[in-house]
Amino acid sequence: MEPVSPKPTNHILRNNLLGVLAAAVVLGALVPSTRGGSAIPFAMVYGLQVVVNLALGVFRLVSSKPGASAAPYFLSALLVLIIGFGACSVMILGGLSTMN
């Protein structure tokens, strides 16, 4: 019987980055009409996404499952922090500068 090779974990990073991209597009569309007020809920969702990724990473780290890697979850949390909150701040600052 051949050993089962582990599944690639690229889907974790892909799904998190697609979530950040979709939220950034929606936030970019809503910022002019809400005068930046829509950034607070999106920042909270980004924060929740980071907490969930960290919790899943810690769970994978302490689980005794062979071949389980926590690195994609921790990397996803870091990328959501950098990209998500950076996108929020850029859109807020850009939206505030164009307001009358």
Residue 6 located in a structural domain: no
Question: Mean per-residue pLDDT for 41-66?
Answer: 87
Enclosing domain of residue 75 = 38-100
1 occurs within a structural domain: no
The pair of three-digit structure tokens given for residue 31, joined into one six-digit string: 């910022």
Q: How far apart are the first and last CA of the chain?
A: 70
pLDDT tens string 57-69? 999 888 867 767 8
97 belongs to a structural domain: yes
Q: How far apart are CA 42 and CA 53, in angstroms?
A: 16
Within a domain: 19: no
Contact criterion met (CB below 8 Å) for 60 and 73: yes
Predicted TM-score of the model (pTM): 0.77
Total number of domains in the chain: 1
